[in-house]
Amino acid sequence: MRIDYFVTLQKVIASGSFALAAKEVHVTPSAVSMQIKTLERYFGQSLFNRTGQNVQATPFAIELNREMTSVVSYLQRLRGSSAGRLEGTLKLGTVGLMQPVVLPHLFGNLKKNGHNIRIVCSPGRSQDLIEAVKVGQLDAAIVAEPEQARRKQLEWQVIREEQFYLITPPNIDYVIGQTDPSDWGWVGYDRASELGRLSKRIAESTFNASPPLIELQSLPAVISMVASGFGMAVVVLPEATMANHYGVNVYPLSDEKPRLRFSLVTRKLEKDSALIDEIKRCIAR
């Protein structure tokens, strides 16, 4: 009997759905049904009451899952490691701002630890990546954590918190009490994003900023527009060298201002995944 079938059993019990379990174990719903039927034939007992879209585990299924959980975890560790060496594939989403900051560090630690973990990277916007994790299209994602982050199904591990800065064109010096930012045009980051929403709020509350003349989806594009003299902006700078490259003036805002939190988001159903645990450790180091 393959241990994968017992993993599938765990996922069906946890999600209450063959379709959701199929996304978790990366097979079709019909394959999930086949695996459950194989277990039922082997043990000679029904594992689920199949009524409607959701399925309900029988007392025997719950008992079987409880007894097999530690066994499955042990066998997975043996199968996935050799003297601590992990193998497998993990689908990871990453917002553009964090790719040059987190990925080199992550891949370097994985290599140093001798793991053979293949990471399939998917770029995207935070809200899209979060939804992809929720429905099982991605195993994990590095995103800008929303202020009202969903915590019922998802787990969040903070990677870093970014301070906000006012940036001005090279020929404009900002002096508190002397420079009136409201007289200048503003360059905005896409307000549909967490960065865009927070930066717009800070610009309006702190500098009485007028509505942005333009909104962009790229931080380098925002900084470049400011450097050209088009206007000012409130941004985060995960890479300090980015501002230096464009020659803009940079003014850190008060520590009392909100910070943009970047986190690794995973499903709570994956809390026992050795691969995800190792990814978390490698990012945190």
pLDDT in tens, the chain (285 residues): 677 788 889 888 988 888 888 877 767 778 888 889 999 999 999 999 887 667 889 999 999 989 888 888 777 666 655 445 677 889 999 999 999 989 999 999 888 877 788 899 999 999 999 999 988 899 999 999 988 776 778 899 999 999 999 999 998 888 776 677 777 889 999 988 999 999 999 999 988 888 999 999 899 999 999 999 999 999 999 887 888 888 899 999 988 888 999 999 998 876 667 888 888 888 876
Long-range contacts of 245-252 (CB under 8 A, 24+ apart): 247/170, 248/167, 248/168, 248/169, 248/170, 248/223, 249/167, 249/168, 249/169, 249/170, 249/172, 249/173, 249/174, 250/165, 250/166, 250/167, 251/165, 251/166, 251/167, 251/168, 251/174, 252/163, 252/165
Specify the pLDDT at position 263.
Answer: 94
pTM of the model: 0.67
Digit-coded pLDDT (tens) for 57-72: 999 999 998 988 888 8
Query: What CA–CA distances, in Å, run from 179 to 182, 184, 199, 212, 260?
Result: 9, 10, 19, 18, 26
Domains of the chain, start order = 3-80 (1.10.10.10), 87-160+261-284 (3.40.190.10), 164-258 (3.40.190.10)
Give the model confidence (pLDDT) of 3-44 as tens digits.
778 888 988 898 888 888 887 776 777 888 888 999 999 999
